[in-house]
Amino acid sequence: MALRNILTYEEDVLHKVCREVTEFDSKLATLLDDMHETLTESGGVGLAAPQIGILRRVVVAEYDDQYYELINPVIVEKKGSQRVVEGCLSCPGQNCVLTRPQKVTVKAKNRFGEDVKYLFSGFWAKLACHEIDHLDGVLIIDIKEKFYDPKTDKNLK
């Protein structure tokens, strides 16, 4: 396994649409393992492949002792809404206020190319949406309602 360099929003690669994964091979496994290690080292909760310069639809996320690998993820259902504060490893120091669904159903593949389906709610719903946005070149600073202000947005964080 190897640590990868996390890119920030100035890089073009973070604003592009990623391609689907078609080969579920050892190269993909290495990418996933490297992404997991890089995420752990970063102290973050989610990492998408374009954040390490790879234009593929691959996401890893880990929070509260749960770890997911999402390959070619698609949100097939959204329910409700929540106003949230989000940060991003690629937008250091720029916390944003935005609105996300309260619940999302995500269909994806696992590292073996098998179909998986997850229902995410609350924190996990916003995390899944945030990471899947990365695969379409969308960052929180592109879709924010405003930057987070701890003085006026006390209830949001």
Residues that bind Co ion (CB under 5 A): 88
Q: Are 108 and 72 in contact (CB under 8 A)?
A: yes
Q: How far is the CB of 75 from Co ion (least distance, A)?
A: 16
Q: How far is the CB of 127 from Co ion (least distance, A)?
A: 9
Q: How far is the CB of 44 from Co ion (least distance, A)?
A: 8
CA 105 to chain centre: 15
Residue among 61 and 88 whose Cβ is closer to Co ion: 88
Residue among 8 and 24 whose Cβ is closer to Co ion: 8
* Distance separating alpha carbons of residues 145 and 140, to the nearest angstrom: 9
Residue among 71 and 88 whose Cβ is closer to Co ion: 88
Task: Provide the annotated active-site residues.
Answer: 131
